Amino acid sequence: MFKKINFNNHPLHLKYKWEQNCWLKLQITNTGQSVIEDYKIELEFEGDFEKVGAESGHFLYNPNYINNVKEYRNSNKALIIVPKDQTLVQGDSFTSGNFYIEPKVGEGSEVRLNWKLLSRDFTDTGSLIIKIMPKFHKVFLDNEIDNIEDVREEISYKLIERPGMSQIGYVDYFDKESDYNFE
């Protein structure tokens, strides 16, 4: 006799928080009159956010992935870009690898990215403003009350928990992103 298995109640079928990060890339262009050689770009972030990080390849599925954006071991508010090609001629540009800002849950914020280009013969600094505007998935809960004076509206924010299964280094979600409506 075969027994029907309900995977929704399976002990390995848990709910995992869906991290919502603001993913970015930078396009860097040499608008000057001379070649920039042997350079790197330091990025420091200021503002109201949790942390910053760089994308990394999965050690099994994409072990040869190389990102030119690196994290510092001792900081979650700074990154460094070390391009593969160490020469940037006038008018040429390159695009950095992927990196992210993890915002605080339920809050929009403004993050200042202070950059510093260091090269053999040239140093420059500047800043960019990044405005993070979160989108929300609304969930309405109706609770029964006994007294009209207890009627109230509460608003709280939390990360969406999606059903899935943990794999080595990532989560396989069983639902689809399109199952959620964001405002």
Domain count, the chain: 2
pTM (2 d.p.): 0.73
Reading the chain (183 residues) residue by residue, the pLDDT tens digits are 555 545 555 555 688 777 778 889 999 999 999 999 999 999 999 999 999 999 886 666 666 778 899 998 888 999 999 999 999 999 999 999 999 998 887 778 899 999 999 999 989 999 999 998 877 767 777 778 788 887 777 777 777 777 887 776 667 777 776 777 766
Q: Domain check: are 125 and 140 in the same one?
A: no
- The predicted pLDDT at position 83 comes to 94
Same domain, 66 and 48: yes
Distances (CA, A) of 45 to 76, 88, 100, 129: 9, 25, 11, 10
Report the sign of the C-alpha dihedral through residues 65, 80, 128, 76, in that order.
positive
Please tell me whether residues 12 and 25 are part of one structural domain.
no
Asked if 29 and 61 sit in the same domain, the reply is yes
Tokens linked to 72: 């510092």
pLDDT at 168: 67
- Which CATH number covers residue 46? 2.60.40
Question: Can you give the residue range of the structural domain that contains 47?
Answer: 21-133
Residues 18 and 161 sit within 8 Å (Cβ to Cβ): yes
Whether residue 63 is found in the same domain as residue 50 = yes
Statement to judge: residues 41 and 56 lie in one domain: yes
Residue-level pLDDT at 71: 92
145 and 67 inside one domain = no
From the list 125, 25, 36, 122, the residue with the least C-alpha distance to 85 is 36
Structure tokens given for 113:
């990215």
Residue 115 is predicted with a pLDDT of: 97
Residues 142 and 159 in one domain: yes
The verdict on 128 and 139 lying in the same domain is no
